[in-house]
Chain A
Amino acid sequence: MNQAALVLDESPLLNVSQLTRLYGINKGCQQVDLELFRGEVLGIVGESGSGKSTLLRCLSGMEQCDSGSIEYQPKHHVMNLQDMRKADLRQLMRTDWGIVQQNPRDGLHLDMSAGANIGERLMSQGARHYGQIREQALEWMERVELDIERIDDKPKNFSGGMQQRLQIARNLVTSPRLLFMDEPTGGLDVSVQARILDLLRKLVSELDVAVVLVTHDMGVARLLADRLLVMRDSRVIESGLTDQILEDPQEPYTQLLVSSILQV
């Protein structure tokens, strides 16, 4: 019992303070503070241009920030992202972190087989045994409900939904502690969306991975996120428990955002 209970005095996995990256006046993100803990799903919502994707790119090391600090603490040792060597950061991104892009074609090698796409991350972790890599690739194809017969096929011939599931498998195979997702169901049919959401929910809770999820879809945020940050014009204007933000939004903009959700 209770092994899954949250430890409230633990230090955050990701501790961000006063993060700023601006392209123009109020374009990008500024003065963002956030904490992310183990196994927690943090949603970042807001309309296009509010700065949520810029924030995600800075957090995940894909982009340099102008100022502020990002501390990552996987165990007892705190790493400061700005001070890290490029090679160390790349290694972190390939193994301990996962990044699921909105467009799976940006996160996959389309001309490499599905199996090689999954295996590549295992190899950057040091795996060399071909048979074991293939076995894990097969296992992960099953977990994301891809036909294992297609392990040697190239993802350029997959549907969008299959590509997205392959991208998820590729990222989760190394059991990352932290997963970044940018509109993971963005370009997909509604029927395919539900399947991806269900998969993500299941895998995130099984692997106890922490997630930063950027989405403009409040429905996706409601179903996946524990907490939400609302962004507008480059700033975080409101934050709280997901159902509290959705049911009792305080800021005028958040009220507008929530009232625009179509009720199904």
Chain B
Amino acid sequence: MRQATLQIQNLSKSFVLHNQGKVSFQVFENVSLDVYPGECVVLAGESGLGKSTILRCLYANYLSDSGAIVFNHNSQSQDLNKLSDRALIQLRREKIAYVSQFLRVIPRIPALEIVMQPMLDIGYERQQAEQRASELLAHLNIPERLWQISPTTFSGGEQQRINIAREFTVVRPLMLLDEPTASLDAVNRAAVIELIQEAKDQKSAIIGIFHDIESREQVADRILDLQSGNFIENDTWCA
């Protein structure tokens, strides 16, 4: 029997805003989901249901209130909610890709260098990293004259593609994609979807948020509707 790469079990998250009258609100409760190697599960539902919040809990930017996030890889099983900070840093470097909606970088560092960094961090030679980074930037239609420029001056869509390039340099067993196609035109959307397909072929388990129905249809193996908590049936996707 195939083992899920990720097993989310009864995950709950709330926030307490201490400086705004101690307001507390529950974002989601008891979310459970298994994601298998080579599969892409899309989180769907209106804004405010906590789609991005789930991804952030999975990447440990957010602390979960309760529940387990079990990551299975190479016959090792770890609950992300119980790992030390250092273990999480290592896991992120080697095993988890996360495409966020924002690009945060030190001004002055060239785009090419930013895309190379994750490979350098896990011990690749500069030459190899540069070659792979160049391939990705070209694939994502970033003009070569921009490669040596800091992306802080780029347009939203260009920054988004730098984010994507950086996270797709190496195959990672788990990928978290927060609206990777949001600010892209049709050509670039297609380029991103091609990368996602490649990652699936290489057995990455993917959880993503896609607002445009076309991209969603192309990549999703299952769609979880957070409103009802049920998977949406295949033939009603476009409804």
A and B: interacting chains = yes
Which residues of A are in contact with B by a Cβ distance under 8 Å? 1-6, 8, 37, 40, 194-195, 197-198, 201, 205, 222-223, 226-227, 239-241, 243-244, 247-248, 250-252, 255-256, 259
B130: shortest Cβ distance to chain A, in Å?
Answer: 15
**What range describes how many residues of B lie at the interface?**
20 to 34
Q: A5-B94, A247-B56 are in contact. Are A241 and B89 (CB under 8 A)?
A: yes
- CB neighbours (8 Å) of A195 from chain B are 108
Q: A194-B107, A198-B108, A259-B19 are in contact. Are A5 and B123 (CB under 8 A)?
A: yes
Mask: chain B, 78-90; 1 = CB below 8 Å from A; 0 = not = 0000000111111
Q: A2-B122, A5-B122 are in contact. Are A255 and B18 (CB under 8 A)?
A: yes
Instruction: Report the Cα distance A9→B5, complex, angstroms.
Output: 24
- The answer, yes or no, to whether B120 is at the interface (CB within 8 Å) is yes
Of B63, B87, B106, B124, the residue contacting A248 (CB under 8 A) is B63
Q: Is the CB of B86 within 8 A of A37?
A: yes
Which residues of B are in contact with A by a Cβ distance under 8 Å? 15, 17-19, 56, 60-63, 85-90, 93-94, 104-109, 120-124
Instruction: Report the Cα distance A3→B119, complex, angstroms.
Output: 12
Instruction: Report the Cα distance A205→B118, complex, angstroms.
Output: 12
A-B contact count (CB 8 A): 78
- CB neighbours (8 Å) of A240 from chain B are 63, 85
Q: Is the CB of A194 within 8 A of B106?
A: yes
Q: Is the CB of A4 within 8 A of B121?
A: yes
Instruction: Report the Cα distance A248→B105, complex, angstroms.
Output: 20
Instruction: Report the Cα distance A40→B87, complex, angstroms.
Output: 12
Q: Is the CB of A255 within 8 A of B19?
A: yes
- CB neighbours (8 Å) of B87 from chain A are 8
Taking each of A222, A244, A250, which has the highest tally of chain B beta carbons within 10 Å of its own beta carbon? A244
Q: Is the CB of A244 within 8 A of B106?
A: no
Instruction: Report the Cα distance A198→B105, complex, angstroms.
Output: 10
Instruction: Report the Cα distance A259→B60, complex, angstroms.
Output: 20
Instruction: Report the Cα distance A112→B80, complex, angstroms.
Output: 52
Taking each of B60, B87, B107, which has the highest tally of chain A beta carbons within 10 Å of its own beta carbon? B107
A12's nearest neighbour on chain B, judged by CB, is: B86
Q: Is the CB of B19 within 8 A of A252?
A: yes
Q: Is the CB of A4 within 8 A of B18?
A: no
A201's nearest neighbour on chain B, judged by CB, is: B106
B84's nearest neighbour on chain A, judged by CB, is: A8
Instruction: Report the Cα distance A222→B122, complex, angstroms.
Output: 21
B83's nearest neighbour on chain A, judged by CB, is: A8
13 residue pairs A–B, Cβ–Cβ below 8 Å: A5-B90, A6-B90, A37-B86, A198-B107, A222-B104, A223-B104, A241-B85, A244-B61, A244-B63, A247-B56, A252-B18, A252-B19, A255-B19
Of A1, A241, A243, A247, the residue contacting B123 (CB under 8 A) is A1
